[in-house]
Amino acid sequence: MATPTITNPEGIDVPIQKLQNRFTNNLWTGVRLDDATKNKVYNSYGRAVIVEGVPKVFNPAAVNNGYYELLMNDRASAQSFFIVNDNNKVGFDEFEADVSLYFMVNLEHLSSLSTRAEQEVINDVRSYLRNEPYGFELTAIVSGDESVSDFDQVKVKDNLQPYFCFRFDMTLKYQYLC
């Protein structure tokens, strides 16, 4: 499935899509993939929703009413998506929202290290957030089972070698252009 983007994003979707595109074009693009993993990819999704404990992203090409489940799978070396808290601060010119950026990765596909390279992978993401924040301010990095505690379908085995789940909790300041 191609990673969906919004044709004309507005408001909160502008910085989310900018970061989504930056990740798609730069994050883990130089990863060495051997014959066993040559078809693995990184999918950077935009804003998702949680439906009955399962994160889903809207894609008109997807079956099941246009929503695609975002759970750990063997078809991708890594995937990421954003969840926006429903309670946002609003003003006349600027808005503020709490946003979580989730990652589900296969460490064996992303690192040449022989150890569990959790911190290496987290640092890859953190460096992109630091260099191009797009209005995002990092407030916490959560890893392990706690990072996906809102998802009923994620199991403990989804966070054991070679798999790793983590999230970046952030505050996002954004505007609507009039």
Residue 155 CA to residue 160 CA, distance in Å, equals: 10
Which residue range is the domain that position 79 belongs to?
13-174
Tell me whether residue 4 is in a domain: no
Tell me whether residue 8 is in a domain: no
pLDDT value of residue 2: 54
Residue 175 CA to residue 178 CA, distance in Å, equals: 9
Q: Check if the beta carbon of residue 166 is closer than 8 Å to that of residue 122.
A: yes
pLDDT value of residue 35: 46
Tell me whether residue 90 is in a domain: yes
pLDDT value of residue 63: 67
pLDDT value of residue 131: 80
Q: What are phi and psi of 118, to 5 degrees?
A: -60, -50
Q: What does pTM read for this prediction?
A: 0.87
Query: Which domain CATH number covers 128?
Result: 3.30.2000
- Note down pLDDT in tens along the chain; length 178 residues: 456 777 888 889 999 999 998 888 888 776 544 444 455 678 889 999 998 888 998 877 766 678 888 887 767 788 999 999 988 888 778 899 999 999 999 888 887 666 788 898 999 899 888 887 799 999 999 998 888 888 887 766 677 788 889 999 999 999 887 6
pLDDT value of residue 68: 83
pLDDT value of residue 31: 57
- Axis crossing angle, helix 13-26 with helix 118-131, rounded to the nearest 10: 130
Q: Give how many domains the chain has, as a whole number.
A: 1
Tell me whether residue 113 is in a domain: yes
